[in-house]
Chains A and B, each alone.
Chain A
Amino acid sequence: MTTTGVASCPRTAGRVTGGVRVAAVADGRGGTALPLLAGEGALAVRRTGTRAWTQQSPRPKGAAVTLVGAMSAPLGGDRMRVEIAVGADARLTVRSAAATVALPGRGGESAWYDVLLTVAGGAELLWLPEPLIAAAGSDLRMTTRVDLVRGARLVLREEAVLGRYGESPGRLASRLTVTVDGRPLLDQDFRVGPGSAPGWDGPAGLAGHRAFGQLLVAGSGTATLGPQLLTRASDVVQAVATPLAGGAATLVTALAPDARHLRPLLARTLEELLDGSATDIRPVPAAGPP
C-alpha cells in the first residue's frame, strides 16, 4: 500500500462540460508567466494582474487569474475540471468572479467538479474562490486535490453554503485532499444535505449551521496558529484554528448560520495567519453585506 493516490476521486470519466487549465512558471526576470491559460465550455479564465505576497515582500511579484463561469453551472450531469500547476518559484493567486451555484439537473443526476492543484518547490498558490452554493435539489460531488512539494506554500479557502437565501439545502460531497511530497497532510470529506450521510444535520453534524468554511495555510515560512478557539461556545459562528500533524500547516474550520457570518471570520483569520501585512490579498467582498 502506498500513501499516494486519491483513487476515490473519479478523474476523467464522462463528459467534461467545463474546464480550466493554468500553468504558472517563474519567468526568470523575477515575475511569473502563464504559458498555459485555457478555458473551455462552461468555464473561462482571465489574467487579472499581478500581486505581491506582502507589500514589503522582496520576492518576485506573482500572477493572478480569475475563474469565470460562462453560466451558472454546474448543473446536474455536468463535469467540471480545473487544473492548476504552479512551477518552481512561481507565484499565483486564483479567485473566481462569483459564487459557484450548483443546480439540479433535469434527470436528478449528480454534477462533478474536480480541482487539481500542484505547487512545486519554492512556489506559492493562493486558491481563494468565492463560495460554493448547493441550491435546493442539487447534488454536487466536488474533489479538491492539492499536491505540494516540500518548500511549496499554499493558502486555500473553501466555503460551502447549503441552499440559496431562504432555500432548503442541496446535497454536497466535497473532499479536500492535500499531500506534501506524496504524504497525506489533510484529508477531509464533507458530506451534507438531504440523502447524504445520516445525521448530517444533527448534534454531531451541522446542528443547523448552513455555511461551512475551511482555510488552510501550509508550507514553508507560514506561521502556524493554535490550537486556538476563534469563537465562544455561545457564538453563532463556531470556529477553531488547529495545527495539522504533518508539519507547518494550520487549518481553520468554521461553521456559521450563513455565508454572511462566515466570510468575515475567515478574512480576519487569514490576515492574522499572514501576519496582518497581506493587504493585497484581502478578499473582495462577497455578494451579501459584510
Chain B
Amino acid sequence: MSAALLLLTDGRFPAGGHAHSGGAEAAVAEGRITGAATLAEFCRGRLHTTGLVAAALAAAAAAGADLLALDDAADARTPSPALRTVSRRLGRQLLRAARAAWPAAVLDQLAADRPRGAHQPVVLGATARAAGLTPLDAARAAAYESAGSPATATVRLLGLDPFQAAAVLARLAPEVDAVADAATAAAHRARTEGTGALPAASAPLLDVSAERHAAWPTRLFTS
C-alpha cells in the first residue's frame, strides 16, 4: 500500500467529491435510505454496479490503455446525461488537483484532449499511473469512492451517527476488495479484447433518480 494511494483517496484531497452524494440525497428524499441498514444496502448496490464499472475503467487507465477509448466506453455506460456531466466535471476537478500533485505529460495530454473534462474514473486511473500506483490501486480507489461518497453524504443528510457510517464502510471493505480484484482482471482482459471486455453493470434506478435530482430547484449536493 503506497502513501500516494492514501492521499488520492483522502476525503481532503481537493478533487470536488465533498459536494457529491453518489445518489444518496435523492435516495434519502425518496425514502430509500432511512438509516444505517438501508445505507449499507445502498452502498452495496452502488459498489457492485457503478463502482464496478468505475473501478474497471480506472484500472484500465492505470494500466496504460487508450484514455480516449476508455472515455467513450464510460459514455456508453452512462446513459444519464446528468451523471455524464457530473462525471466529467469531477474528472476535470480531479485532473486539476492531480496535475498539481503529480505533474505528468499524460495528464496534460488528457486535459488538452478533453478540455470539458474526461470521465472521473478515467482521470482517476491516469492519476494513479502518474502517481506510480498500480491498476489494482486505482480500482480500489474507485470502488471505495463509490461506497464512501453516499456514506459520507448520509451523515450530513440524515444526521446519521458517523460511527455507524464508518461501520457500514468497514463491513463493506471485503466486497470493495473483491470488486477491485474483478475490475482489475477485466481491465487486464481489455488490453487484448478491447473496452467491450470491461464491465457495464447498470443501475437503472440510480439513473432515473439522478435525472430527478438534477431537476430539483434546490439541493445540498451536486449529485
Say if A and B assemble together. Answer: yes
Given A3-B72, A202-B42, A227-B80, A190 and B204 contact (CB-CB distance below 8 Å): yes
**Given known A1-B194, A3-B195, A242-B81, contact A204–B76 (CB-CB < 8 A):** no
> Could you pull out 20 A-B pairs where Cβ atoms are within 8 angstroms?
A1-B190, A3-B69, A5-B194, A183-B72, A184-B195, A184-B196, A187-B76, A198-B44, A198-B175, A199-B49, A202-B38, A202-B45, A204-B42, A205-B203, A212-B204, A226-B81, A240-B207, A246-B75, A255-B204, A255-B208
B36-58: which residues lie under 8 A (CB-CB) from chain A?
Answer: 38, 41-49
Cα separation A71 to B23 with both chains bound (whole Å): 43
Q: Which residue of chain A has the shortest Cβ distance to B69 in the bound complex?
A: A3
In the complex, residue of chain A having the shortest beta-carbon distance to the beta carbon of B50: A204
Contact B41 A5, beta carbon cutoff 8 Å: no
Stretch at the interface among B5-13, B26-34, B126-134: B26-34
A106 to B201, CA, bound (A): 28
> CB < 8 Å: which of B73, B190, B215 contacts A229?
B215
Whether A205 lies near B75 (C-beta < 8 A) is: no
Main secondary structure of the interface of B (DSSP, over half): helix
Q: Is the CB of B75 within 8 A of A239?
A: no
- B125 is an interface residue with CB less than 8 A from chain A: no
Q: Which residues of B contact A200 (CB under 8 A)?
A: 45, 48
- Contact: A204 with B193, CB < 8 Å? no
**Contact of A203 with B42 at beta-carbon distance under 8 Å, contacts A227-B81, A239-B208 already known:** yes
A residues at B contact (CB < 8 Å):
1-9, 175, 177-178, 183-191, 197-200, 202-207, 209, 212, 226-227, 229, 233, 238-240, 242-246, 251, 253-255
Closest chain-B Cβ to A196's Cβ sits at a distance in Å of: 9
A240 to B210, CA, bound (A): 10
> Chain B, 56-82, contact with A by CB distance < 8 Å: what is the 0/1 string?
000010000110010011011111111
CB atoms of B194 and A199 under 8 A apart = no
Identify 12 new A-B residue pairs, CB closer than 8 A, beyond the known A1-B195, A186-B76.
A3-B195, A3-B196, A5-B193, A6-B197, A198-B44, A199-B48, A200-B48, A204-B44, A209-B205, A227-B82, A246-B72, A255-B205
Q: A1-B69, A198-B175 are in contact. Are A205 and B196 (CB under 8 A)?
A: no
Please state if A238 and B205 are interface contacts (CB–CB under 8 Å): yes
B222 at the interface (CB under 8 A from A): no
In the complex, are the beta carbons of B65 and A186 less than 8 A apart? no
Q: How far is the CB of A136 from chain B (nearest CB, A)?
A: 22
Contacts of A202 in B (CB 8 A): 38, 41-42, 44-45
Q: Judge whether A189 and B200 touch: CB under 8 Å.
A: yes
Residue on A nearest B215 in the bound complex, by CB? A229
Please give, as numbers and ranges, the residues of chain A lying within 8 Å of B47 by CB-CB distance.
Answer: 198-199
Asked if B202 is an interface residue, CB under 8 A from chain A, the answer is yes
Residues of B within 8 A of A (CB): 23, 27, 29-30, 32-33, 38, 41-49, 60, 65-66, 69, 72-73, 75-82, 84, 175, 186, 189-191, 193-197, 199-209, 211-212, 214-215
A193 to chain B, nearest CB (A): 13
User: In the bound complex, do residue A189 and residue B38 qualify as a contact, i.e. CB atoms below 8 Å apart?
Assistant: no
Known contacts A233-B30, A253-B208; is-contact A4 B196 (Cβ 8 Å) = yes
Expressed in whole angstroms, the Cα–Cα distance for A259 and B69 within the complex equals 37
Q: Which of A8, A190, A246 has the most CB of B within 10 A?
A: A8
Report the nearest B residue to A197, measured CB to CB: B48
Contacts of A253 in B (CB 8 A): 79, 204, 207-208
B44, A238: Cβ atoms closer than 8 Å: no
Q: Nearest Cβ distance between residue A250 and chain B, in whole angstroms?
A: 10
Q: Are B201 and A191 in contact, CB atoms less than 8 angstroms apart?
A: yes
Q: Are B206 and A204 in contact (CB under 8 A)?
A: yes
Nearest-neighbour CB distance to chain B for A119, whole angstroms, equals 17
What A residues does B204 contact at CB under 8 A?
Answer: 190, 212, 253-255
Q: How far is the CB of A177 from chain B (nearest CB, A)?
A: 7
CB distance from A96 to the nearest CB of B (A): 22
- A8 near B197 with CB under 8 A, answer yes
Give Cα A2 to B73, complex, Å: 11
Contacts of A1 in B (CB 8 A): 60, 65-66, 69, 190-191, 194-195
CA distance A24 to B221 in the complex (A): 50
Inter-chain CA distance A221–B108, complex, in Å, is: 38
Interface centre among B38, B202, B209 (most CB of A within 10 A): B202
**Could you tell me the distance between the alpha carbons of A156 and B190 in the complex, rounded to whole angstroms?**
27
The 5 closest A-B pairs by CB, nearest first: A199-B45, A204-B45, A202-B41, A7-B193, A203-B32
B23: chain A residues within 8 A (beta carbon): 204
Cα A246 to Cα B49 in complex, Å, equals 21
* Residue among B79, B205, B215 having the largest count of chain A Cβ atoms under 10 Å: B79
Task: Tell me which of A200, A203, A255 has the highest count of chain B C-beta atoms within 10 A of its own C-beta.
Answer: A203
